[in-house]
Chains A and B, each alone.
Chain A
């Protein structure tokens, strides 16, 4: 039973980490353009131009 004292807090902590991650993603507007994000993952080349300073 002692293991519960360790395992329950650990599982809760991991769950909370997930929740915080979700809330962070929501707050930083990553859920605004789900269609775009799905397509964007496929193109990774940078613009072929150096932006002048």
Chain B
């Protein structure tokens, strides 16, 4: 029996009355145990499988595991791979897989299915590998099971692979292992030499050779990551921290080898390998923290991965990745689906083009008009003829614009590299002078002069300096991750700390970016009945209505009449025309008519996020004046600007104008933080000093951003800036601390007083001080 098995089963009374028994979300008044029918079904499913002990250990964030009312209609059978022995294998990325108990639940639930041979989930990579015997189409049943439990899945994609296949990270870990082994074993020998003053020269020579035997290969192998990066720096013609490290380590190793051959009093192999081990530890941790963020972004992108339904000549349809569709293919665009490709339709279409243009109200496109990729179908399902394959379409053009903006931005020089530019030449000059003085002026033998010069290199080897910034990064990136902010770029925090202006997009950033019901005093009972019907549809307005009344159970026997509405008995919910009223101006209206009763009108609008004004105020308090930059019309933009308290706004900006505005601001010496979610913001995001995209942003915007907010709202942004500034201050402190160490240690080295014992003490203590100081960065 497992620990999980031993956990008390969740009794009805044990769960707090205010939380959903499945997903943990807060319950609305009147709800008993579950926040929605999906959760009720999931709970019954889990209990039916005998896996109810899951709830005793669940540690997911509230609301993550809420099953969606409608599962996406993606056919996963083509993604299953047939193995040699006839079994099928499917690799998925699973969203919501955030705790050990989730891994257990997913694996156990799948393994309980007949024919499933194995199911293995990786918690760090959110990757699930499941194998089964039988037809490939079983994939859809298995995925449906996961969807009923509340996990959203997508096929494992190349983007996920890039984020995880971390060959470089593995190389670093291996180097760390080797360096740690080497430094510990050499230290055994070295300590014997340090304390063994009565040791005979023959024995000391033997011990030197032993240290060299371990030390030389360790220095050569474990230092490779640094040597490679240093070589790249030499070829680019700019000194880097890695160059200083490489020179210091190699010079120390060669000098120690020569001391070994001449049987000098000490060798410094312990110092060289310990230095490598400490530096590699810093790199490994730094990498691990960012890898987690990169993976979460890849997971979000995989869930958005474009799948289109292509109609074949014989009338059948097949699901294919968007990039496989060619110009001239006919594809089916379901109601509520996002267009993945440019095309033309034979019939008029109502599209929400907020992501491509920033307009907040859907627009209707004539038959034969060019439909932009990225828009969402707000009307009936229609057939579209593709006019450009994915790589030639408007999305690809936007991606190219983004790339150019990124190249034009130039390389940001991190503070550690800026320090290295001055530090490295100075240190090498001091070492050279030391050699010259000892050899030329004091007439010492050249071995002694060399030992002292190399000691300068070793003692100044920027051990603490190289740890100073990564240690802070690890701590603050981790702190941000826990607050739902993903940091994807290594220098993002540094840039965020120095931003002095916030440029905000409107639709989807300041506003929710999706329709929300405007309460106009409708009869609550009518709302509940309409919402119950609306649950049956994937149409964005119907879903907005269902969201407005989450406690309404899904109604049975609802029939969807494509492009018009829903019908159940003599009750109708749909477009005004469908319910016998005049057409609506903007397509943001639903009408509910129950038999002969008076029709109830529901109007929807894109509402401002609740925390937007507070976030704007908080940004201003941090010294970042806000500016609104939107592609929408003047009226809508000025209204939102006034509500959010932003005096400075610009309307009708297309992607190129947005990018130009950012470039103009940078020209004027400002350092703008761009926040945007749409395809039309991507180029501006890439061009900005630092950029962020809110939850639910389009994939293009997320790839272009330095920070991705995972939770709804903008509230995390001011907190992130505070953490970034604190991290920056601590990083500077750390650099200062390591410089202070050098001010004391370098004169000792120049005077020839540094024994390996002193070197080891200085290195270890300065590293510890810097790491301990970095731990303070997690506090806000």
A→B interface (CB under 8 Å)? 1, 4, 8, 11-12, 15-16, 18-19, 22-23, 26, 31-36, 38-40, 42-45, 47-49, 51-52
CB pair B50 A48 closer than 8 Å: yes
CB pair B125 A51 closer than 8 Å: no
CB pair A39 B2 closer than 8 Å: no
Binds A, one of B104-112, B672-680, B745-753, B763-771: B104-112
Binds A, one of B113-121, B150-158, B555-563: B113-121
Cβ of B647 under 8 Å from chain A: no
CB pair A26 B174 closer than 8 Å: yes
A48 smallest CB distance to B (angstroms): 7
Q: Which residues of B contact A32 (CB under 8 A)?
A: 122, 124-125
Binds A, one of B177-185, B323-331, B615-623: B177-185
CB pair A33 B101 closer than 8 Å: no
CB pair B178 A47 closer than 8 Å: no
Of the candidates B103, B114, B117, which one forms a contact with A40 in the assembled complex, judged by CB atoms under 8 Å apart? Answer: B103
Apart from A48-B112, A49-B112: 15 A-B pairs, beta carbons within 8 A = A8-B210, A11-B188, A12-B185, A19-B178, A19-B181, A22-B177, A26-B177, A33-B122, A35-B100, A35-B123, A42-B3, A43-B104, A51-B116, A52-B114, A52-B133
Within the assembled complex, what's the spacing in Å between the Cα atoms of A17 and B101? Answer: 35
CB pair A1 B2 closer than 8 Å: no
Within the assembled complex, what's the spacing in Å between the Cα atoms of A33 and B185? Answer: 29
Q: Which residues of B contact A45 (CB under 8 A)?
A: 1-2, 4-5
Of the candidates A16, A26, A42, A47, which one forms a contact with B108 in the assembled complex, judged by CB atoms under 8 Å apart? Answer: A47
Within the assembled complex, what's the spacing in Å between the Cα atoms of A34 and B50? Answer: 28
CB pair A15 B185 closer than 8 Å: yes
Q: Which residues of B contact A36 (CB under 8 A)?
A: 100, 103, 121-124
CB pair B100 A49 closer than 8 Å: no
Cβ of B17 under 8 Å from chain A: no
Contact of A49 with B111 at beta-carbon distance under 8 Å, contacts A19-B177, A31-B170 already known: yes
Q: From DSSP, what is the main secondary structure of chain B's interface residues? A: helix
CB pair A35 B124 closer than 8 Å: yes
CB pair A15 B174 closer than 8 Å: no
**Chain B, 86-108, contact with A by CB distance < 8 Å: what is the 0/1 string?**
00000000000001110110011
Of the candidates A8, A15, A44, which one forms a contact with B2 in the assembled complex, judged by CB atoms under 8 Å apart? Answer: A44
Within the assembled complex, what's the spacing in Å between the Cα atoms of A40 and B102? Answer: 11
Q: Which residues of A contact B236 (CB under 8 A)?
A: none
B→A interface (CB under 8 Å)? 1-5, 50, 99-101, 103-104, 107-108, 111-112, 114-117, 121-125, 133, 170, 173-174, 177-178, 181, 184-185, 188-189, 203, 210, 214
26 residue pairs bridging A and B, Cβ less than 8 Å apart: A1-B203, A11-B188, A12-B214, A16-B181, A19-B181, A22-B177, A26-B170, A31-B173, A32-B122, A32-B124, A35-B100, A36-B100, A36-B103, A36-B124, A39-B99, A39-B103, A39-B123, A43-B2, A43-B3, A43-B104, A45-B1, A45-B5, A47-B112, A49-B111, A49-B112, A49-B114
A40 smallest CB distance to B (angstroms): 7
Q: Taking CB as reference atom, which chain B residue is nearest A8?
A: B210
A26 smallest CB distance to B (angstroms): 6
Q: Which residues of A contact B5 (CB under 8 A)?
A: 45
Q: Taking CB as reference atom, which chain A residue is nearest B178?
A: A19
Contact of A39 with B111 at beta-carbon distance under 8 Å, contacts A15-B184, A26-B174, A33-B125 already known: no
Q: Which residues of B contact A11 (CB under 8 A)?
A: 185, 188
Within the assembled complex, what's the spacing in Å between the Cα atoms of A52 and B633? Answer: 63
B50 smallest CB distance to A (angstroms): 7
Within the assembled complex, what's the spacing in Å between the Cα atoms of A23 and B99? Answer: 28
A19 smallest CB distance to B (angstroms): 4
Q: Which residues of B contact A34 (CB under 8 A)?
A: 124
CB pair B1 A18 closer than 8 Å: no
A1 smallest CB distance to B (angstroms): 7
Q: Which residues of A contact B178 (CB under 8 A)?
A: 19
CB pair B100 A23 closer than 8 Å: no
Residue of A11, A12, A35, A44 ringed by the most chain B CB atoms within 10 A: A35
Within the assembled complex, what's the spacing in Å between the Cα atoms of A11 and B185? Answer: 8
CB pair A42 B125 closer than 8 Å: no
Within the assembled complex, what's the spacing in Å between the Cα atoms of A47 and B101? Answer: 15
B766 smallest CB distance to A (angstroms): 27
Q: Which residues of B contact A44 (CB under 8 A)?
A: 2
B88 smallest CB distance to A (angstroms): 14
B184 smallest CB distance to A (angstroms): 7
Q: Which residues of B contact A42 (CB under 8 A)?
A: 2-4, 100
Q: Taking CB as reference atom, which chain A residue is nearest B121?
A: A36
CB pair B123 A33 closer than 8 Å: yes
Q: Which residues of A contact B1 (CB under 8 A)?
A: 45
B224 smallest CB distance to A (angstroms): 15
Q: Can you list the 5 inter-chain pairs with the closest CB atoms, starting with the nearest? A: A39-B100, A36-B123, A47-B111, A33-B122, A35-B123
Q: Taking CB as reference atom, which chain A residue is nearest B184?
A: A15
Q: Which residues of B contact A43 (CB under 8 A)?
A: 2-4, 100, 104
Within the assembled complex, what's the spacing in Å between the Cα atoms of A39 and B104? Answer: 9
Within the assembled complex, what's the spacing in Å between the Cα atoms of A35 and B99? Answer: 9
CB pair A51 B117 closer than 8 Å: yes
Q: Which residues of B contact A52 (CB under 8 A)?
A: 114-115, 133
B732 smallest CB distance to A (angstroms): 32
Q: Which residues of A contact B189 (CB under 8 A)?
A: 8
Within the assembled complex, what's the spacing in Å between the Cα atoms of A1 and B133? Answer: 66
CB pair B173 A26 closer than 8 Å: yes
Q: Which residues of B contact A22 (CB under 8 A)?
A: 177, 181
CB pair B177 A23 closer than 8 Å: yes
CB pair A23 B210 closer than 8 Å: no
Within the assembled complex, what's the spacing in Å between the Cα atoms of A38 and B123? Answer: 10
Within the assembled complex, what's the spacing in Å between the Cα atoms of A51 and B122? Answer: 22
Q: Taking CB as reference atom, which chain A residue is nearest B97?
A: A36
B542 smallest CB distance to A (angstroms): 39
Within the assembled complex, what's the spacing in Å between the Cα atoms of A35 and B185? Answer: 30
Within the assembled complex, what's the spacing in Å between the Cα atoms of A33 and B58? Answer: 19
Q: Which residues of A contact B101 (CB under 8 A)?
A: 39
Q: Which residues of B contact A12 (CB under 8 A)?
A: 185, 214
Q: Which residues of B contact A48 (CB under 8 A)?
A: 50, 112
Within the assembled complex, what's the spacing in Å between the Cα atoms of A51 and B116? Answer: 7
CB pair A15 B123 closer than 8 Å: no
Q: Which residues of A contact B50 (CB under 8 A)?
A: 48
Q: Which residues of B contact A18 (CB under 8 A)?
A: 181
Within the assembled complex, what's the spacing in Å between the Cα atoms of A8 and B107? Answer: 48
Q: Which residues of A contact B203 (CB under 8 A)?
A: 1, 4
Q: Which residues of A contact B99 (CB under 8 A)?
A: 39
Q: Taking CB as reference atom, which chain A residue is nearest B210?
A: A8
Q: Which residues of A contact B185 (CB under 8 A)?
A: 11-12, 15
Residue of A15, A39, A48, A52 ringed by the most chain B CB atoms within 10 A: A39
Q: Taking CB as reference atom, which chain B residue is nearest A35?
A: B123
Q: Taking CB as reference atom, which chain A residue is nearest B116?
A: A51
Q: Taking CB as reference atom, which chain A residue is nearest B51?
A: A48
Within the assembled complex, what's the spacing in Å between the Cα atoms of A40 and B100? Answer: 7
Q: Which residues of A contact B121 (CB under 8 A)?
A: 36
Q: Taking CB as reference atom, which chain A residue is nearest B113?
A: A49
